[in-house]
Amino acid sequence: MFAMGVRAGFVGVGRIGRPMAQRAIDAGLEVAVCDARAEAVAPLVAAGARAFGTPAEVAAVSDVVCVVVLDDAQTRDVVAGARGLLAGASPGDVVCICSTVSEPTVLELAARAREAGIELLDAGVAGGSPSAETGTLVTMVGGEAAAVERARPVLMTFSKELLHAGGAGAGMRLKLVKNLVSYLALGASHEGRLLAEACGFDAGLVARVVDSTSLLDQFFRFGLERPRAQRWPADAAGPELEHAVAYTGIARKDLAAALALARDVGAELPLAERAREAAGSLFLLPRERETPTSEDR
């Protein structure tokens, strides 16, 4: 429906939203912006955007609006509030929720938008402000394919890749999976550094060991690409299951030793504690085959 002359709107132009809107301006699109802070919109206005006081006003002059605010409550207010996007949008317009919110919020707002003839996409972005600045975000979209295509000219101004994950909510589900992996990776590296420094090692030395052995990439790929993600059934048998039993034992032993060291040097490692407890799950061991250690009893 929309050509490259599509009119773009952005509600929330902070750390991520501002460079996203700037990329749309740089691409030659007509851009409308709205933010509670006047200082946030000023550089975009100087670059050619038009500023408005409410989301409804932005929607009235836009074909595709990206919402880049903090949380579920702000997203609900921006989209469905008294002066929200649905109050100003026209049938056929597309609203893209780029904030990280819960799936129920996405589905609720998508249903309300649909009643007004407006398409709502969940369009979570990954890459942070540096990628937004360079137009290399990865955007994970859920919603109707036709609406995704209508929004594409705007989304691709700040994205290097647009992944259509499925129907409403699918984009946010994929974003939450990605965030889960990211935060757990941060937790693992943080606890590794805590233990290293408590032992008197420089964190850079640990980084060299990890980089030299490619351990992070190996475990990451193993977790994502192995043939199954669920535990083996209770009646399973064969060499693969025996490998799971063996590796679970090794993991529990190694983690127990690391945790004993942490206690000796005064480092608290709550994620490592949980990893030791969940070692059987990590290697897909049937619950019936798990043998708790004395520390688990």
User: At residue 79, what is the residue type?
Assistant: V
Is the domain of 166 the same as that of 33?
yes
**If you ran DSSP here, which 8-state letter would residue 232 be given?**
P
Q: 105: which residues sit within 8 A by CB, 6+ positions away?
A: 72, 75, 76
Catalytic residue status for 175: yes
Query: pLDDT tens digit string along 34-76?
Result: 999 999 999 999 999 999 999 999 999 999 999 999 999 999 9
When pLDDT is cut at 50, 70 and 90, the band that residue 4 belongs to is: low
Is the domain of 160 the same as that of 199?
no
Mark which of 108, 142, 174 sits at the end of a domain.
Answer: 174
Question: Are the CB atoms for 19 and 31 separated by under 8 Å?
Answer: no
Give the pairing of strands 119-126 and 64-67.
unpaired
Say if residue 211's pLDDT is above 90.
Answer: no
Mark which of 114, 142, 174 sits at the end of a domain.
Answer: 174
Q: 248: which residues sit within 8 A by CB, 6+ positions away?
A: 279, 280, 282, 283, 285, 290
Is the domain of 125 the same as that of 215?
no
pLDDT at 218: 82
pLDDT at 252: 94
We report the CATH number of the domain holding residue 213 as 1.10.1040.10
For tokens 């190996």, what's the residue? 218
pLDDT at 2: 46
When pLDDT is cut at 50, 70 and 90, the band that residue 229 belongs to is: confident
Of 28, 40, 31, nearest to 10 by C-alpha is 31
Query: pLDDT tens digit string along 128-176?
Result: 999 999 999 999 999 999 999 999 999 999 999 999 999 999 999 999 9
For 292, phi then psi, to 5°, come to: -60, 145
Task: Decide if 1 is inside a domain.
Answer: no
Q: Catalytic residue among 160, 175, 178, 253, which?
A: 175
Cβ burial, residue 260 (10 Å; 0-12/13-18/19+): exposed
Give the pairing of strands 159-166 and 119-126.
unpaired
Between 220 and 101, residue with greater pLDDT: 101
Say if residue 96's pLDDT is above 60.
Answer: yes
Name the 3-class secondary structure at 46: helix
